[in-house]
A and B are shown apart, each in its own frame.
Chain A
Amino acid sequence: MNAQEPLVKISDVVKHFDISGGYLDQLTFKSGRPVLEKTTVKAVNNVSLYVEKGETLSVVGESGCGKSTLARVIMGLYPPNSGSIHYKTDRIDNLTHEQWLPFRRKMQMIFQDPYASLNPRKTVRQTLEEPLRFHNPKMTNGEIRDKIADVMQQVGVDPAWITRYPHEFSGGQRQRISIARGLILDPEFIVADEPVSALDVSIQAQILNLLMELRVKRNLTYLFITHDLSVVHHISSRVAVLYLGTLCELADARTLFETPRHPYTRALLSAIPKVGEQAAKHIKLKGEVPTPVNLPPGCVFHGRCVYAYDRCRTEAPRLTELRDGTHVACHAVEEGRSLD
């Protein structure tokens, strides 16, 4: 790690959602006495990580592991229950709406489904113009026009299509327009939440290439949220693996794919179907993902882990750094027990 301040740093972020509903929903009886009980979804639990300038950090995990929630917490779309988020040196998790505005220009988000994330009643121009006018009230019409044309060109959409509506574009083109919307304010940091998973594979390649090209050209930093491990391998510099809202492994991409440490990461990697490989001997996990409403005690993964023993059932492992810089939260790895 270099001495430079990380661009985004989150420390011990917790996000729980209260789903207990109304008064009567909360009412239960315990040993004959009525009590009010709250039900919470523990989406993100004590996650700490940092994103350095210029890197691509991928957050991977299966559905329901809290990766999108984490992205939204970082972007200020959900307030965290506890923990802190810093953008460079400024703390951003406790800001008011007005205080957030300068950061919104620097941090932008690209969403998964380009069919849902673009307003169907707005033309491309209206979509791209709105953030510009809002954040730069002094910009002239000419400047705005030039800026939009410039960004559209960069993402590979013909500027002549500026008056068209989203329904006139294909999925890949729409995703290019959402990327253009993300870039129009010249942000430094982009959170991309599954930006290619709704797209066909040949279109996916186009969009991934575009994102990589833009990163170099515009000196962008990405936080990439995805479940697709082959995409992760291809684009990331570092990878964070989430399971049930808990960080289990954080390593640079090469190390992670060559020597996955955490039993969950190993199972996950062994399950990727690779073109041209015969049915892999993937590691079978036992059981099912528990619900984030009732988190298991101890290590969240212990119910499915073949290496779990008593300590895993009672004590939650801490994220510890190994010699090669990988961070792993696993008692077995920490104690140096063989996992073969």
Chain B
Amino acid sequence: MSHLLEVKNLEVKFALRFGDITAINDVSFTLDKRERLGLVGESGAGKSVTGFSIINLISKPGFISKGSIWFEGNEISKYNDAQMREIRGNRIAMIFQDPMMTLNPVFTIGFQMVETLLAHRNISRAEARAIALEKLKKVHIPSPEQRLDQYPHELSGGMRQRVIIAISLLSDPAIIIADEPTTALDVTIQAEIMDLLQELCETDNMGLILITHDLGVVSQVTQKIAVMYAGKIIEFGPTDQVVHNPVHPYTIGLIGSIPGSIPPGQDLKQIPGMMPTLTDIPPGCAFNPRCELKQDICTRETPVLMEKQNGIMAACHMK
């Protein structure tokens, strides 16, 4: 059976004045119906670019230089702009971090929802409004009829993010890509939004790609995790395995550096240094300058993602 979404050996480059830099390097993963995948990493690891490239939102000077993306058995990475518009926002929806930036401040919620529907479907304005109302109910917005005629500034951050989710649900997408959907929100609101996303995956048979830097959130919501570092997936596996028995030294360090993973007052485990910029990724394993287990081979050969233990794949020479 083919997967809902399959990303094969994806490589994304940005053509800059001094040459091409590789933002995504040989990234592969699959997503099935009702599956929730987490893409985790620090800023600049390439998690958002991965999300964008799935629906071909990479703008110049970026381009997909290698690899392919398959959605419901079709190679969507070969689609032209017109074909892509049928997929983007329709079959694969994306939710962004800042709900204030994604909603247009000068139009009402209802207008923005109806507009989206009319762009994708051949229905009347009244029908579109009915669908919009139904979706607002689905994301548990209180008094949805009233909200349709409100402007984004009249809603709180959590409500706005619910509206965004409702908009993304308008066309009954098969996949939602959520790029840091709760980073701008408070922790109690975050918990509600995450509950909602999980619930929707179950009730609507959707796949979810959750892009975040927060390992705590990912470990509660997703079933699989891909940990990214300097444009590569360096560890991939079932969430509870990756969280409890991580293999790659970077993942181990990342989990150790979260306050709460160790008794209060003790020193947090810290990873020395910082992630290299994409312009000077060290030869061999990109993590080698920060790694405790570094050997000669790490500076010479790039490790490939291999099956290690308990269903975890990791790219490390030493494990």
Q: Which residues of A contact B (CB under 8 A)?
A: 62-63, 170, 172, 200-206, 208-209, 212, 227-231, 233-235, 253-254, 267-268, 270-280, 282, 284-285, 288-289
- A234 contacts B216, CB within 8 Å? no
What separation, in Å, do the CA atoms of A228 and B271 have in the docked complex? 20
Instruction: Tell me which of B157, B259, B274 contacts A234 (CB under 8 A).
Output: B259
- B260 contacts A274, CB within 8 Å? yes
B85 at the interface (CB under 8 A from A): no
What separation, in Å, do the CA atoms of A36 and B274 have in the docked complex? 56
Instruction: Tell me which of B157, B215, B221, B244 contacts A201 (CB under 8 A).
Output: B215
Residues of chain B in range 179-204 having any CB-CB distance to chain A below 8 Å: 186-192, 194-195, 198
What separation, in Å, do the CA atoms of A326 and B319 have in the docked complex? 48
- B186 contacts A288, CB within 8 Å? no
- B219 contacts A277, CB within 8 Å? yes
What separation, in Å, do the CA atoms of A234 and B188 have in the docked complex? 20
B residues near A227, Cβ cutoff 8 Å: 186-187
- B216 contacts A274, CB within 8 Å? yes
What separation, in Å, do the CA atoms of A268 and B191 have in the docked complex? 10
Instruction: Tell me which of B42, B159, B268 contacts A288 (CB under 8 A).
Output: B159
B253 at the interface (CB under 8 A from A): yes
- B42 contacts A201, CB within 8 Å? yes
Tell me the nearest residue of chain A to B250, going by C-beta. A202
B267 at the interface (CB under 8 A from A): yes
Q: A271-B187, A275-B215, A275-B243 are in contact. Are A205 and B220 (CB under 8 A)?
A: no
B residues near A205, Cβ cutoff 8 Å: 256-259, 268-271
B43 at the interface (CB under 8 A from A): yes
B residues near A212, Cβ cutoff 8 Å: 265, 267
Q: A201-B42, A288-B158 are in contact. Are A275 and B261 (CB under 8 A)?
A: yes
B residues near A234, Cβ cutoff 8 Å: 259-260, 264-265, 268
B34 at the interface (CB under 8 A from A): no
* Given A63-B186, A205-B270, A273-B219, 9 new contacts (CB under 8 A): A200-B274, A202-B271, A202-B274, A230-B216, A254-B264, A273-B190, A274-B220, A279-B195, A282-B188
Q: A202-B270, A275-B258 are in contact. Are A62 and B219 (CB under 8 A)?
A: no
Q: Which residues of B contact A (CB under 8 A)?
A: 42-43, 156-159, 186-192, 194-195, 198, 213-217, 219-221, 240, 243-244, 253-261, 264-265, 267-271, 274-275
- A277 contacts B271, CB within 8 Å? no
Tell me the nearest residue of chain B to A212, going by C-beta. B267
What separation, in Å, do the CA atoms of A234 and B257 have in the docked complex? 11
Q: A62-B186, A170-B274, A279-B220 are in contact. Are A202 and B257 (CB under 8 A)?
A: yes
- A230 contacts B257, CB within 8 Å? no
B residues near A284, Cβ cutoff 8 Å: 192
- A275 contacts B255, CB within 8 Å? yes
Q: How many A-B residue pairs have CB under 8 A?
A: 122
B residues near A272, Cβ cutoff 8 Å: 187, 216, 260
What separation, in Å, do the CA atoms of A182 and B198 have in the docked complex? 43
What separation, in Å, do the CA atoms of A272 and B188 have in the docked complex? 8
What separation, in Å, do the CA atoms of A228 and B260 have in the docked complex? 11
B residues near A200, Cβ cutoff 8 Å: 42-43, 213, 274-275
B residues near A277, Cβ cutoff 8 Å: 219-220
Q: 4 tightest CB-CB pairs across the interface, nearest first? A: A205-B257, A273-B216, A234-B259, A230-B260
- B240 contacts A276, CB within 8 Å? yes
What separation, in Å, do the CA atoms of A285 and B187 have in the docked complex? 12
What separation, in Å, do the CA atoms of A113 and B139 have in the docked complex? 33
A-B CB contact pairs (8 Å), 23 listed: A62-B188, A170-B274, A200-B213, A201-B254, A202-B270, A204-B257, A205-B268, A208-B259, A209-B268, A230-B216, A233-B259, A233-B260, A233-B264, A234-B265, A270-B191, A272-B260, A273-B194, A275-B255, A275-B261, A279-B220, A280-B191, A282-B191, A284-B192
B residues near A203, Cβ cutoff 8 Å: 42, 274
Q: How far is the CB of A220 from chain B (nearest CB, A)?
A: 15
B residues near A288, Cβ cutoff 8 Å: 156, 158-159
B residues near A275, Cβ cutoff 8 Å: 215-216, 219, 243, 255, 258, 260-261
- A201 contacts B260, CB within 8 Å? no
What separation, in Å, do the CA atoms of A271 and B189 have in the docked complex? 8
What separation, in Å, do the CA atoms of A62 and B192 have in the docked complex? 14
Instruction: Tell me which of B189, B244, B270, B271 contacts A276 (CB under 8 A).
Output: B244
Q: How far is the CB of B162 from chain A (nearest CB, A)?
A: 11
Q: How far is the CB of B214 from chain A (nearest CB, A)?
A: 7
- A271 contacts B190, CB within 8 Å? yes
A residues near B192, Cβ cutoff 8 Å: 284
A residues near B217, Cβ cutoff 8 Å: 273
Q: How far is the CB of A148 from chain B (nearest CB, A)?
A: 23
